[in-house]
Amino acid sequence: MPPPPGDADVFMPVLAHAAKHRSEQQRERPGKTRACAPHRYKNSHARRSGGNSSVKCDGRLCHNPAHDLPNSAYVVRDLAHVWHPCTQMKDHEQLPLIPIRRGRGAWLEDYSGQRYLDAISSWWVNLFGHANARINAAVREQLEELEQVILAGFTHEPVIALSEALSALAPAGLTRCFYADNGSSAVEVAVKMSFHYWRNVGRTAKRRFITLSNSYHGETLGALAVGDVDLYKEIYRPLLMEVITVPSPDCFARAPGESWAEHSRRKFAHMEAALAQHAHEACAVIVEPLVQCAGGMRMYDPVYLTLLREACDRHQVHLIADEIAVGFGRTGTCSPASRPASAPTSCACPRD
């Protein structure tokens, strides 16, 4: 997110040295003396802890807002120890990071009190916003009771209740839940499950996957392999399984005067041909239902999913709906692939 013009703090060059920080501290907190300087933390904590001078506070893991360091100090600490995802770190020598102290609803706030409208919902909080009170209370309550127990050989009421609720929401026929750590892992699980199924029924020639051009399914090696965004994939290609890539039905590219449905139907001919040619060796087709998000929010008509469901059945190929980015109401329905005519064989659900 580009910083708003005029905010001297976020435009500050990121690799500033300590002397510069001191003058920025004064500028960011006009009227205040350097109450947050590390030696002050030490003193104030030492006082509150009965003069024990071994107790120090330099802002690390400290939730007292009065102890916040200036934004610039967090930037320097970050750059010394953090590599950010999907990022060329060199860029941050020119484009400063924005340190965020807290979030509420649609708003983020940095360490100087500057607020930002989180117009991209930090990708994953568009449904409920930041620090949703009901969700946080439920998480807190659960943490007090049981923080985790291995799910192999054990079970508990919350996982049963969640699985019952998800099964009730899921497309017909999807009655079991398997939990993974994140979106990429969920895609890995779906891919492995499909392969494993065909192996169990003796169809061992089925080892390949069909995907759409410009699709994105995550960063782990299997998920990267079934995606098609070169920016993420190109360098790792020698490590990845080969997939069958079919032109995307992306309606941005439709001909003048052509409707979304007409375009998606026309594009489906490529999928039909791929299925006819590769069904004997294909485990599954994997798609992002309706919107190819990381590929540039490219959308297609629901008729494509209906045609795909029918063709996958006819050719005996699984259909994996990767709903990591579009599930739980983000495209209107709870599961965009859950219309009766297009229900997938397996479904990767988002984390919210």
Ligand X SMILES: Cc1ncc(COP(=O)(O)O)c(C=O)c1O
Q: What tokens were used for 67?
A: 């102890």
Contacting residues for 126 by C-beta, under 8 A, at least 6 apart: 330
Residue 291 makes contact with ligand X by CB under 6 A: no
- Note whether 187 binds ligand X by CB under 6 A: yes
Binding-site string for ligand X from residue 248 to residue 287, where x marks contact by CB under 6 A and - marks none: ----------------------------------------
Give the full edge-to-edge strand order of the sheet including 102-104.
102-104, 107-109, 115-117
183 or 302: CB nearest ligand X: 183
CA distance linking residue 168 with residue 175, whole number of Å: 8
Q: Calculate ∠ Cα 327-332-334, nearest 5°.
A: 40
282 - beta bridge partners?
A: 208
CB of 83: closest distance to ligand X in angstroms?
Answer: 16
Asked if 194 is part of the footprint of ligand X (rule: CB under 6 A), the reply reads no
Nearest to ligand X of 111, 216 (CB atom): 216
- Nearest to ligand X of 96, 218 (CB atom): 218
Q: Which segment (20-28, 63-71, 133-141, 215-223) binds ligand X by CB under 6 A?
A: 215-223
Nearer to ligand X, 26 or 185 (CB): 185
Sole binder of ligand X in the list 3, 249, 322, 349 (CB under 6 A):
322
Instruction: Tell me whether residue 182 or residue 306 sits nearer to ligand X (CB atom).
Output: 182
Q: Is 93 left (phi over 0), alpha (psi -120 to 50) or beta?
A: alpha
Residue with tokens 């802002």: 59
Using CA atoms, how far apart are residues 246 and 274, in angstroms rounded to an integer? Answer: 7
* Closer residue to ligand X, CB minimum distance, 170 or 349: 349
Do residues 126 and 291 lie in contact, with contact meaning Cβ atoms separated by under 8 Å? no
Task: Report how many residues bind ligand X under the rule CB under 6 A.
Answer: 13
Q: Applying CB under 6 A, does 347 fall inside the site for ligand X?
A: no
Q: Using CB atoms within 10 Å of the CB of residue 338, give its burial: 0 to 12 exposed, 13 to 18 middle, 19+ buried.
A: buried
Instruction: Indicate whether 324 belongs to the interface with ligand X (CB under 6 A).
Output: yes
In the set 97, 226, 293, 343, which binds ligand X (CB under 6 A)?
293
Under the binding rule (CB under 6 A), the answer on residue 300 touching ligand X is no
What whole-number distance in Å separates Cα of residue 275 and Cα of residue 61?
A: 54
Q: Of how many residues is the chain composed?
A: 352
236, amino acid identity: Y
For ligand X, the closer of residues 280 and 351 by Cβ is 351
Q: Which residues are at the interface with ligand X (CB under 6 A)?
A: 182-184, 187, 216-218, 288, 293-294, 322, 324-325
